[in-house]
Amino acid sequence: MPNLREYMEEFNKKNMNEQNLPEGVYEAGAEIPASANPEDTTAEDTSQEDLGEDASFEADAFTDDDLGVDIPDIPLPSQAPVEEKLEDKFDSAYKFAVVGVGQGGSRLAETFWKLGYRRVAVINTAAQDLKSVKVPRENKLLIGGQGAGKDRKVAEAIFNENREDVLDFLKRTFKGGFDRVLVCIGAGGGTGAGGGPVVVDIAHDLCETYGVESSPTDARVGAVVALPTRAEGSKVQLNAKETANSLIASSQEGTLSPLIILDNERIKQIYPKLSVNQFWGTANTSICSLFHLFNKIAAQDSQYTAFDKADLDTIFSSGIISFGAVPVAFEGDTVEETDISYAVRDNLKKNILANIEVSTGDVSACVVIGDRKTLDNTPQESLEHGFEQLSRLLGEGSTVHRGIYHTAKKGLVVYTIIGGIKAPEQLFDYKQ
């Protein structure tokens, strides 16, 4: 019996040339006659008499009939979908999931998105306010739809009625894979003031779902709350006061950390010449960039002294925190002993927290970043003097974590982060 391959080669030579094509078979690209109809072509055109005596066995060997069983239609499982993983645009100590509530909170969340954070969600009760936020559409959630009219009670009711929708939205947006949640709140508006604390509570549910927290006291949920300027009116100021006091209470209970209180009135005082276009961007960037810096630095090595993740965790878990950054002024090539200590003192004076005394903090970090030449010309004792200055300012029993890093940018800058700050009895001096 001839081999099947040999037989088919002989068959093709004999019957499939251009001069002897079987009826109903046409060359690729050839014009098909109008009279040709595939339905008119029958099996007799290529009958087994033409194929030879043994060909039927060879061809039939590949049919289902010869298996001796009926092949059932079994539904096969589809390929498991590949789970999308969200990755930030940088390496960091912690993977933060950032939620912006209300217009002010959404602007803060938008700033984190611009810095490269990719677990970012924004929620609002007004479609117009939500539309202007520059994050992907799928990262936005509209609830209510009519706004809150500066009424925090209205917003609180809307968010409570839609708790499960908010939780599902955060699950879809973040897809797990985060270490901490940071809720950004504009405390003056109705949506932020009323909805912010509800979202903080929902964030705890989210953390428990993914095993980030076993209970709220694990404090893997933090918040940035932005306070309004004086010019925004008494109702707005009252919203902010009630919201901030609520978040401070949660912080004192150990269920919210870190808590960062951004005071736009103080920013206006520190930077009095900012234009309208510059003000809000400066206010948001001032806090988000410093937060981002410490989160990145804590994941990097240093040939000098490293500020690591464990150091950052101590501060992030300490309640109310504050950030600062001041360049070191020095003459010539050498940084003198008092240059850094002066910068540390100046740093604390220019913090952007609202009416809060940072010297009440009990844990901190002082990170010095400069170009290699400047660091090479900076005596170790000058650095030590700066670190000791911060320790003295915070008082007995305080802890100061250190970090020294080099960068390509010329100069020397002192960055500070202070935690464990006590909230004052009177947070606001606004007239009601």
Structure tokens belonging to residue 203:
């964030």
**Domain assignment of residue 70, yes or no:** no
Residue 227 structural domain: 88-297
**Domain assignment of residue 185, yes or no:** yes
pLDDT of residue 280: 74
Please check whether residue 191 is in contact with residue 147, taking contact to mean a CB–CB distance below 8 angstroms: yes
**Domain assignment of residue 245, yes or no:** yes
CB atoms within 10 A of CB 328: 23
CATH number at residue 326: 3.30.1330.20
Residue 376 pLDDT exceeds 70: yes
pLDDT of residue 53: 46
Give the CA-trace dihedral at 303, 309, 314, 315, to 10 degrees.
80
- Residues 142, 163, single domain; the answer is yes
423 membership: H or E segment, kind and range = none
**Domain assignment of residue 75, yes or no:** no
**Structural domain tally of the chain?**
3
- Residues 385, 422, single domain; the answer is yes
Amino acid at residue number 263: D
**Which residue, chain included where needed, has tokens 């609830």?**
143
**pLDDT for 349-361, tens place per residue?**
776 665 678 888 9
- Residues 135, 241, single domain; the answer is yes
- Residues 265, 343, single domain; the answer is no
Please check whether residue 181 is in contact with residue 96, taking contact to mean a CB–CB distance below 8 angstroms: yes
DSSP string, 213-271: -SSGGG--EEEEEEEPPGGG-HHHHHHHHHHHHHHHHHHHHTSS--EEEEEHHHHHHHS
- Parallel, antiparallel, or unpaired for β 412-421 and 320-327? antiparallel
Last residue of one domain, picked from the residues 264, 297, 330: 297
Last residue of one domain, picked from the residues 297, 318, 339: 297
- Residues 55, 124, single domain; the answer is no
Spatial strand order in the sheet of 399-407: 140-145, 120-126, 96-101, 180-186, 221-227, 259-263, 320-327, 412-421, 363-371, 399-407
Last residue of one domain, picked from the residues 14, 31, 64: 64
- Residues 345, 255, single domain; the answer is no
Structure tokens belonging to residue 88:
């930030």
**Domain assignment of residue 181, yes or no:** yes
Q: Is the peptide bond before 258 cis (omega within 30 degrees of 0)?
A: yes
- Residues 252, 367, single domain; the answer is no
**pLDDT for 63-92, tens place per residue?**
445 555 565 666 655 555 555 678 899 999
**Domain assignment of residue 80, yes or no:** no
**Domain assignment of residue 81, yes or no:** no
CA angle in degrees (0–180, nearest 5) for 183-186-188: 145
pLDDT of residue 13: 55
Give the CA-trace dihedral at 164, 168, 173, 176, to 10 degrees.
110
- Residues 249, 328, single domain; the answer is no
- Mean pLDDT for all residues in the chain: 82
**Domain assignment of residue 78, yes or no:** no
- Residues 94, 236, single domain; the answer is yes
Task: Indicate the pLDDT class of residue 245, thresholds 50, 70 and 90.
Answer: very high
- Residues 216, 276, single domain; the answer is yes
